[in-house]
Structure formats: structure tokens, C-alpha cells
Amino acid sequence: MTFREFLGVLGARWRIIALSLLAVVAAAAVQTMLTPAVYSSSSKIYLRATQPASASTDNKVATYAVQASDLATYLDVLTSPSVTEPLRSRLGLPASYPLSVSGEVSPTSNMMTITATGGDPQLVARVASEVGPVLAEVATKKFSPLLAANGQSVEATTITPAEVPGEPTSPNARRNLALGGLLGLALGIGLALLRHTLDTKVRSANDIKALSSRPILGDLPMVKAVKGGLLSLESDPHGRHAESIRRLRTNILFVDVTTGGHSFVITSSVPGEGKTTTTINLALAMADAGSKVLLIDGDLRNPSVASTMGLDGSFGLTTLLLGQAEPEDVVQRWRETNLHVLPAGPVPPNPSELLGSEPMEVLFGKLSHDYDFILVDSPPVVPVIDAVLINKLTHGLIMVVGAERTKKRDLASAVQSLETVDAPVAGFALNMVTSGSSTTHRYGYYGYNRDADVKLSRREKRERAKHEPARHEA
């Protein structure tokens, strides 16, 4: 995966990253709020041994440095009951009150740093201040027998007094939130990459390019069914879907130049990808451009062109293949346009045999001379072989791919099946693209004010609706 592809994955899965980041930061914030605050305060003392004036020749108090071995002993007993119990008595604390005291001895001097921690900032400052004198008193009585035998005692001189802490040492809110943010970001990126790796559906043009080198002729936005049906060229001729269909038509014309033919079969890998709706709208767009177009429903297993367009589907292609009628008897003209429709007719028990028969080849050759363009709506490639049989008669195969619906393995299987029989895909049409990634949505429409209808009154809308049929007839 290149760095650009990596950024593309992050951009496509930004919601996962954002949710992971927010979730971990929120968890860190809650944990920080629920954790009791702990304060610490430290004092630095100097320990020395003193001798009374009566034992001195010049009637002055003599002082001596405490031995290193004695300092180590004092540090060991700092947290023992011998020190903590008299410390509680001096501070007026109950015997059950926990005290947390620690010490550190300087390696170059008789300095000892004493640190007290707890939940009360005032109390920890008092504890850190009182530990030194208590330790010196206890050390003289219990842990310095040589000093006691010589009439000497231990004194603690405060060098750096303990101060009341203003902020707790833990929890550290800034550090916890920063760590939570880094962890959430890493978790989100990991989930995004995992989701991308395990994603089985085609979601963008890049997924198609990874499976085939054939061009992507257009992306068609997702549209909902309206009163006029799914034929956007009729119900919403200036909408996003209609403009995308026209762009697809233009790109197919370039494919037509390279193939040298004027007929295409429209198919998909599996059902439910919108191939029939795309085929009908594409045929309407070609007819609007002035070409004489024939739309053939080649899906003899599940025909839907006639029902979608509101035509009579009781006769059609199968009727012609059985020799029961002539093309001019069953081909139906769509309103007053240049589009002609040949429905599938009655569903036969042997659709593959009919589509691959000699009468089908003869019929298609005759129809090719009568029309400028022929579009054939065929069954999906993965379940049946019908699209391959029809493709032998046409000059190109356009595969419709449903975004967020088609599985990668199904599309790969369809492409491989077509390449195996030397029937490569001429191009792809990515259908049902969400508005966020649709090209037409990003760049809008040139020359049409889509907000004009919103500002019309109800009476104006009714008047416009009355004139719509007359405008179609013209």
C-alpha cells in the first residue's frame, strides 16, 4: 500500500478514527475524574550528632556528622511503626489513619529528602515537616546505641521546608488526555486499516481498478424512487442522476469509436446492482441525442424492462425467436421519442439455448441495420452465462457495479469469467454512489438553478404540473 492509498483509506474511514479517538479520550477523562487526587510535599533535612556542653572542654555544644551506616538505618526505619506511631501522636491523627512517607539520602552529604503523599494537601505538608524531628528523636533512643552511650543525640535541621502543594501529582489530567488521544488515534487507524482489509464490498472506483484495468465510464449517484419512477431522464431530466447518465453516454461513444460497433450489452456481476434502470436511462439519453435506439430486454429469466417502462411484455424477443411475429409487430416505440423497446416476451424454459441460437444471430444482424444503437439488458454474469452469449453478437460489454452492494469476490469472478472466454469488459459504470463521493455532487450542475422549485408556491407547482404532459408530447 502506497502512502497515497494509506491516506485514502484514512479519509474513507475517518468516522472510525474519530469515534475511536473520542471514545478513548472520553474514557481517559472519566478515569481521571474518578481517580482520587494524590498530593505530595517534600522537605530536606540535615542530620547531625550533638554532644552536651558539660562534656566539652570549652563549654560549647559539639556537633558531629552522622555516620553513613546510621543514615542508612534511619532511612530503613522511616516507614516503620517506631516512626509512624509517634508521628501520628504529634499530628493528632488516629492510629488507623494511613501515612505514606518515603526518604532519600544524599550520597555526598548528610542530607535526607523526606516526601509525604496523601489526599489532603495541608496534611501532607505538615507530615513532611514533622517527620524529621520525630525521626531524630526516635533515632537517638532506639537506633543509635553508641551515640546514646556517649551522651550524644541526633538533631534534624530543616534545610528546605515543606510547602502546601497547589496541584495533585496524580492523576495528571494533561498527560492522561494526551496519552488517551495518542492511543485513540492509533486504535482508530488500526481499526480503519483492519476494516479496509476485511472489507468485502466494492465502495469506490479504486476497488474496481484493483480488479480490472478496463476504464470506468461513469459514476451514477444513488437516487430514490420518485412519482415518475426510476427513469430519471423523464422524471428529473436536470437532476444529478440524469446528468451522470449523459456523461456515461458520452464516454460510451468513445468506446464505440474504438470497438467499431454500435451495440452494447449491459450486465452486472450479481442481481440488485441497478443494471436494468441504468440501461433504460442510458437508452433514453442516446435517443435524446438524436440516435435511433433499440433497447432489447435480453434477460429471459427475469425480464423487467417492460414493467419498469409500463409497456406490454406479453410478447417480444422470444416471440420473434419462435417465428411467430416480425420485428415491426413487437417492437414498441417509447412515446414520441427515437427510443424503441423490444421486451423479452414470455419466459422460455431454455433461455441460454435461445440466446445462443442461429435465429438469434440472424435477428440481431437484421436489427443492427435498422437502428443506430442497440442496448441489450442481460442477466448477471456470475449466476448464468447469458451475458457471454449476447456479447458475441454485440461489440462491447458494459458492467454495472453497485457501490456498497457488490462484493469484491463476485466482481472478480465475473471479470475472470469474461476474460476466460475472451469477452473482456469494455468499461464499468459505478452505480448507487453516495452523494459524498459523487463527481456530479461535488461540482454541481452547470446552468440549472436546483433551488428554484423549492421557492415556488403550491399554485405555481400545480400549474407547472399541468403543462408537463404537453411539454413531453411536444
Q: Which tens digits make up the pLDDT trace of 194-232?
A: 887 877 888 888 889 988 999 999 999 987 654 445 788
469 within a domain of the structure (yes/no): no
SS3 215: coil
235 within a domain of the structure (yes/no): yes
Torsion angles phi and psi, residue 160, rounded to 5: -125, 110
Per-residue pLDDT of the chain (474 residues; tens, 9 = 90+): 678 778 877 887 889 999 999 999 999 999 989 998 999 999 998 888 777 655 544 555 556 666 677 788 888 888 888 888 889 888 888 888 888 899 888 887 778 899 999 988 999 999 999 988 888 888 877 776 666 666 677 888 888 999 999 888 888 888 999 999 999 999 999 999 888 787 788 888 888 998 899 999 999 998 765 444 578 888 888 888 999 999 999 999 888 766 556 899 999 999 989 999 999 999 999 999 889 999 999 999 999 999 999 999 999 999 999 999 999 999 999 988 999 999 999 999 999 999 999 999 999 999 999 999 999 999 999 999 999 999 999 988 999 999 988 999 999 999 999 999 988 899 999 999 886 554 444 444 444 444 333 344 444 444 445 444 443 333
| Contacts of residue 117, Cβ cutoff 8 Å, sequence gap at least 6 | 38, 39, 40, 100, 102, 124, 169
Same domain, 23 and 79: no
Measured torsion, CA atoms of residues 197, 200, 204, 207, in degrees rounded to the nearest 10: 70
What's the CA angle centered on 474, arms 329 and 449, to 5 degrees? Answer: 125
Which residue segment(s) compose the domain that 371 sits in? 205-446
Domain with residue 281: its CATH number is 3.40.50.300
Same domain, 144 and 281: no
Q: Residue 470 has what pLDDT?
A: 40
Q: Residue 453 has what pLDDT?
A: 38
Place of cell 425467436: 321
Question: Does an H or E element contain 316, and which?
Answer: none
Domain with residue 123: its CATH number is 3.30.70.1130
- Counted domains in the chain: 3
467 within a domain of the structure (yes/no): no
Of 365, 368, 355, 366, nearest to 294 by C-alpha is: 368
Residue length of the chain: 474
Same domain, 261 and 377: yes
Q: Residue 464 has what pLDDT?
A: 47
Same domain, 292 and 239: yes
Same domain, 376 and 233: yes
Same domain, 145 and 185: no
CA 455 from centre of chain: 37
463 within a domain of the structure (yes/no): no
473 within a domain of the structure (yes/no): no
Of 295, 290, 273, 250, nearest to 380 by C-alpha is: 273
472 within a domain of the structure (yes/no): no
**Is 435:441 a contact under the CB 8 Å cutoff?**
yes
Q: Residue 271 has what pLDDT?
A: 92
Neighbours of 338 (CB within 10 A): 20
Distance of CA 198 to CAs 56, 202, 208, 216, Å? Answer: 88, 12, 16, 24
Q: Spell out the alpha helix ranges (H) of 38-166.
A: 68-76, 81-91, 121-138, 145-149
Same domain, 140 and 239: no
Distance of CA 380 to CAs 207, 275, 298, 416, Å? Answer: 19, 9, 11, 14
Cα 295 to Cα 120: distance, rounded to the nearest angstrom? 85
pTM > 0.95: no
Q: Residue 66 has what pLDDT?
A: 66
Same domain, 31 and 43: no
What's the CA angle centered on 276, arms 372 and 344, to 5 degrees? Answer: 70
Q: Which cell numbers hold the place of 342?
A: 423490444
Q: Residue 414 has what pLDDT?
A: 93
Same domain, 265 and 358: yes
Same domain, 87 and 132: yes
Same domain, 182 and 214: no
Q: Residue 445 has what pLDDT?
A: 42
CA atoms within 13 A of residue 436's CA, in its CB half-sphere: 6
Q: Residue 151 has what pLDDT?
A: 67
- Which amino acid, residue 175? R
Cα 330 to Cα 316: distance, rounded to the nearest angstrom? 6
Same domain, 273 and 181: no
Q: Residue 2 has what pLDDT?
A: 77
Neighbours of 110 (CB within 10 A): 18
Cα 297 to Cα 303: distance, rounded to the nearest angstrom? 7
DSSP 167-212: S-SBS-HHHHHHHHHHHHHHHHHHHHHHHHHH--B--SHHHHHTT-
Q: Residue 225 has what pLDDT?
A: 56
Question: Does an H or E element contain 258, and which?
Answer: helix 240-259
Q: What share of the chain is helix, strand, coil (3-state, %, to 5)?
A: 50, 20, 35
Q: Residue 132 has what pLDDT?
A: 87
460 within a domain of the structure (yes/no): no
What's the CA angle centered on 367, arms 366 and 370, to 5 degrees? Answer: 100
The dihedral region occupied by 310, where left means phi > 0, alpha psi between -120 and 50, and beta the remainder, is left
263 within a domain of the structure (yes/no): yes
Cα 284 to Cα 65: distance, rounded to the nearest angstrom? 105
